[in-house]
Structure 1
Amino acid sequence: MADHDADPRRLPEKQRGPVVLRRSRSIEPTTTDQRLLDSRGPADWVHTDPWRVMRIQAEFVEGFGMLAELPRAATVFGSARTPVDSPEYELGRELGARLAGAGFAVITGGGPGTMEAANRGASEAGGLSVGLGIELPFEQGLNPWVDLGINFRYFFARKTMFVKYSQAFVCLPGGFGTLDELFEALVLVQTKKVTKFPVVLLGTDYWGGLYDWIAKTVLREGKVSERDLDLLHLTDDIDDAVDVVHEAYHAWEETH
């Protein structure tokens, strides 16, 4: 009689930790610890989904452990392609310094360009400069101005750290990565997954077109509300950006 026709109460059954295996095609002839201890065997298992779960868990544990005692912080996003001798680099450097002067640690993606500029500004001003890097197909590494750094394999683990340990996002001109972080932050605030969390767009020439499209097309079509549009703060003034971050932190502090 085939397994699917048998009385399920009499089917062979095996426990593998919290997992129950039934029917002969699902049951392995060896135990997990036997396979671990008997021989080295192939290395393919380190690339399987269950092992990836452990790697993911390790990234969260490492990130939470490293950042748990971080002081108040703001995350600065921007392009890795920003040249060192460009006005955007100087803008990021000044922003990092001003945030540090206001008592904020500065968190970036830890890479070159605008990220390096913000880390550099914070470090030179005597503040804490944090870099949360990501493994990419091309070599990047943490920039030399990072005081406290960690590299992640997984974008979602890294994004959690940005949001959990930051009280604000400031976005300088950037590409897909910056846009990704920008809109993820907006969704989290819109859906109240995080509160008292401002998102500042620094650079009206660069961000103005995007802001106008949201206001004139997305809002007009009813895809967002007026309140959603208020989640974005567009400015060219570094003092204004830092004030927004500062005010939001104090509002957050009052509720915690």
Structure 2
Amino acid sequence: MSSKSIPPAAGSGISREEQDRIERISGELRAGIEELGDVGPAVSIFGSARVATDSWEYRSACALGELLAEAGVSVITGGGPGVMEAGNRGAQAGDGRSIGLNIALPREQLANPYVDTDIAFRYFFTRKFMLIRYAMGFAIYPGGMGTIDELFELLTLVQTGKLQPCPLVLVGHDYWSGLYNWLVRESVSRGYIAAADLDLVEVVPDEEVAAAVLLDKLKK
């Protein structure tokens, strides 16, 4: 069945270009909701797309994905390489559901080969909505701008009550402790955030502790 664009209402001030953009956004949201509506318990794993397969981050995320899958928890990632690939790979190894929410970018735009459910997105915010909406917990590995953006958006959503409190672990003391301590030293001390806000996140050393924290809190 062919689809037709809905013409903008006369005098609405919405151009055809903007109308088409609205339809694309709506289509992405609809496709994601239809695909993930029955996902059940799931954890989203974030982290750098640039880590090598022999890095500790890759090995750890793969092991975490497997531990979660063996416990009956689906794994959701951004669908790309690096930490995302590792999480999906571990989920498959643990006979769990491996979900990749990919996005078209100049780099890292192809879905990794360990994804069972592959959904492609054009817009970051629709993809991010799905990564958050259908997860009950989050594991964040070392990463760059995108990973840090996802971390602070999650914290903001929980802090402001837009997202129910959920387990959120930062995996890797060496990478995350400096940021955590900076927030205590600068943001808490200046009154920009409350000390209790940092209780929303837990820095853990490895995948075993991460899995234990996530699974324990998911059971409650």
- Do the two structures share a fold, i.e. TM-score over 0.5? yes
CA distance in 1 between counterparts of 2:8 and 2:122 reads 27
CA distance in 2 between counterparts of 1:99 and 1:196 reads 19
The partner residue of 1:236 within 187, 199, 205 is 205
Letter of the 1:126 counterpart: D
User: Are positions 1:80 and 2:70 aligned together?
Assistant: no
What is the TM-score when the length of structure 2 is the normalising length?
0.92
CA distance in 1 between counterparts of 2:116 and 2:171 reads 24
Instruction: Say which is worse superposed, 51-60 or 137-146, in terms of deviation.
Output: 137-146
Match of 2:165 in 1: 196
Deviation at residue 18 of structure 1 after TM alignment: 7.9
Match of 1:60 in 2: 29
Greater C-alpha radius of gyration: 1
Deviation at residue 19 of structure 1 after TM alignment: 3.8
Deviation at residue 242 of structure 1 after TM alignment: 1.4
Structure 2: which 5+ residue stretches go unaligned?
Answer: 1-5
Structure-2 change in CA distance of 1:217 and 1:61 (3 Å): same
The partner residue of 1:142 within 108, 111, 114 is 111
User: Are positions 1:152 and 2:142 aligned together?
Assistant: no
- The structure with higher relative contact order (CA 8 Å, sep 6+) is 2
The partner residue of 1:175 within 131, 144, 151 is 144
> Deviation digits for residues 140-185 of structure 1, max 9, x if unmatched?
2110000111010011111111111000110011111110111110
Letter of the 2:140 counterpart: C
User: Are positions 1:166 and 2:147 aligned together?
Assistant: no
Deviation at residue 78 of structure 1 after TM alignment: 0.7
| RMSD value, Cα | 2.0
Deviation at residue 244 of structure 1 after TM alignment: 1.9
Structure 1: which 5+ residue stretches go unaligned?
Answer: 1-15, 27-43, 252-256
CA distance in 2 between counterparts of 1:20 and 1:62 reads 29
User: Are positions 1:212 and 2:188 aligned together?
Assistant: no
Question: Which secondary structure does the structure 2 equivalent of 1:222 belong to?
Answer: coil
Match of 1:21 in 2: 11
Q: Give the 4+ runs in structure 1 shifted more than 2 A.
A: 16-22, 137-140, 237-240
Letter of the 2:168 counterpart: V
Does the CA contact (< 8 Å) of 1:168 and 1:245 recur in 2?
yes
The partner residue of 2:92 within 123, 127, 143 is 123
User: Are positions 1:96 and 2:91 aligned together?
Assistant: no
CA distance in 2 between counterparts of 1:105 and 1:78 reads 17
Deviation at residue 139 of structure 1 after TM alignment: 5.5
CA distance in 2 between counterparts of 1:238 and 1:108 reads 16
Structure-2 change in CA distance of 1:207 and 1:130 (3 Å): same
Does the CA contact (< 8 Å) of 1:75 and 1:168 recur in 2?
yes
CA distance in 2 between counterparts of 1:21 and 1:92 reads 52
Does the CA contact (< 8 Å) of 1:196 and 1:248 recur in 2?
no
Letter of the 2:11 counterpart: L
> Deviation digits for residues 207-241 of structure 1, max 9, x if unmatched?
11001101111111111101101011001032321
Letter of the 2:48 counterpart: S
Does the CA contact (< 8 Å) of 2:81 and 2:108 recur in 1?
no
CA distance in 1 between counterparts of 2:213 and 2:166 reads 10
